[in-house]
Amino acid sequence: MAQLLKQAQQMQQQLVTAQEELAHAEVTGTAGGGLVTATMTGSGELTAITIAPAAVDPDDLETLQDLVVAAVHDAKREADQLAADRMGPLAGGLGGGPGGGLGLPGF
C-alpha cells in the first residue's frame, strides 16, 4: 500500500509539472493561408490574435470574422494535441485498471 501511495504522489507531481509546462507553452493556429493567426497557451488561454491588413475588407467583415474563429479553433486543436501529448502518459497511468482511478475498484 505504501508503494502505491508513493507512486500516486509521484504521478501527481508529474501531473503538476506537466500542467505548469502547458501553461507556459504557446501554440499557434492560422486561417486564410496565414491571414489570421491565433496564439494560445498549451492550457487553452488565448493570448494574441494577428490579422494581416490584406484580410481586412470593410465590405466583407463576415469573412474576417470567420477567419478569426477558424484560427482560434486551429490554435485550440494545437493546444489540445499538445496537452494530450504531454498529459497522455500520465492520464494513462491513472485510469489503467477496470475500476478506473488508480486501477483499484472504487478509485
The domains located in the chain, with CATH, are 20-92 (3.30.1310.10)
Which pLDDT belongs to residue 103?
A: 46
What is the pLDDT tens value at each position of the chain, 107 positions in all?
Answer: 888 888 888 888 888 888 888 888 999 999 999 999 999 998 889 999 999 999 999 999 999 999 999 999 999 999 999 888 887 776 655 444 444 444 444 44
Residues 85, 49, 55, 67, CA torsion sign:
positive
What's the pTM? 0.71
Q: Are 21 and 35 in contact (CB under 8 A)?
A: no
Nearest-5° Cα angle at 30, 28 to 36: 115
